Amino acid sequence: MGSGVQGGTTEEPAGGPDDPGDRYGIREERLLTGATVITAVRTIASVVLAAMAAHQQSLTMLVVALGVYWVGDMLDGFYARVRDCETRIGAVLDIMCDRLNAAAFYIGLAWLQPDLSPAIFVYLAEFMVVDCFLSIAFLAWPIRSPNYFFVVDRTIWLWNWSKPAKAVNSALFAVLLLVTGWMWVGLAIASALLVLKCVSLRRLVQIGLPVPGAAR
């Protein structure tokens, strides 16, 4: 799902992002974990299904590709939390794979239903550019993923990575287009999301991204 990085919580932080005892902070990093394997499998499976859907002109198969993406995105995060293997590497990999899966689905949808293209490409600009920048900005702080950005700024977290925000940013737009086919409503939602992401980006710039090792 949109910006659905590994791990997730709505709990309040016990300490700030510089607190060495902070449970949301950096741990030992490694690429190969059960969660990253799930991320890789769901990404490949969803992209292959989306490519097959475009080749066969099958909207049904394209929806299956979307379902594999969403279920896999929830599963890798759930596994990471339960098995306590959340890493920053895994979070970045998840963010990048989300963009690939979303692009495969939405470009496939634009191919099959070109009348939806204006709404789709505004959404892709929001999700693949502005939202992507916001999502990887967590790397400037010692936290494990954007899901813990509330230790930096609660407002940005509420707008972008709380559960309601994630649902609106991904599921609502896709479901609306698939169920109704209303391009103009989809365009309005995509435009509103783009504005919200730009406002979030402005707030992030005002906070300032810390530079590791910068002279003080």
Q: How many CB atoms lie within 10 A of CB 188?
A: 13
Instruction: Using the predicted structure, report yes or no on whether residue 10 has a pLDDT greater than 50.
Output: no
Domain assignment present for residue 198? The answer is: yes
Q: What is Dmax (Cα atoms) for the chain? A: 59
In the chain, the percentage of residues whose pLDDT exceeds 90 is: 70
Mean pLDDT of 12-33: 55
Query: How many domains does one find in the chain?
Result: 1
pLDDT digits (tens, 9 = 90+) for 124-148: 999 999 999 999 999 999 999 999 9
CA distance 19 to 174: 39
pLDDT for residue 169 = 84
pLDDT digits (tens, 9 = 90+) for 40-58: 999 999 999 999 999 999 9
Domain assignment present for residue 26? The answer is: no
Domain assignment present for residue 59? The answer is: yes
Question: Residue 72: phi, psi to the nearest 5?
Answer: -65, -35
pLDDT for residue 170 = 81
Closest by Cα among 167, 166, 168, 186 to 178: 186
| CATH code, 145 | 1.20.120
Is residue 215 very low, low, confident or very high in pLDDT (cuts 50, 70, 90)?
very low
Numbers of helices and strands, H then E, in the chain: 9, 0
Instruction: Using the predicted structure, report yes or no on whether residue 165 has a pLDDT greater than 70.
Output: yes
Question: In terms of pLDDT, which residue wins out, 85 or 66?
Answer: 66
DSSP conformation class of 170: I
Length of the chain: 216
Domain assignment present for residue 15? The answer is: no
Is residue 17 very low, low, confident or very high in pLDDT (cuts 50, 70, 90)?
very low
Domain assignment present for residue 214? The answer is: no
Domain assignment present for residue 94? The answer is: yes
pLDDT for residue 11 = 44
CA distance 170 to 123: 10
pTM here?
A: 0.84
The amino acid occupying position 165 is A
Domain assignment present for residue 5? The answer is: no
Instruction: Using the predicted structure, report yes or no on whether residue 65 has a pLDDT greater than 80.
Output: yes
CA distance 41 to 46: 8
Domain assignment present for residue 54? The answer is: yes
DSSP conformation class of 13: P
Q: How many CB atoms lie within 10 A of CB 117?
A: 16
Identify the domain containing residue 134 by its residue range. 34-207
pLDDT for residue 25 = 57
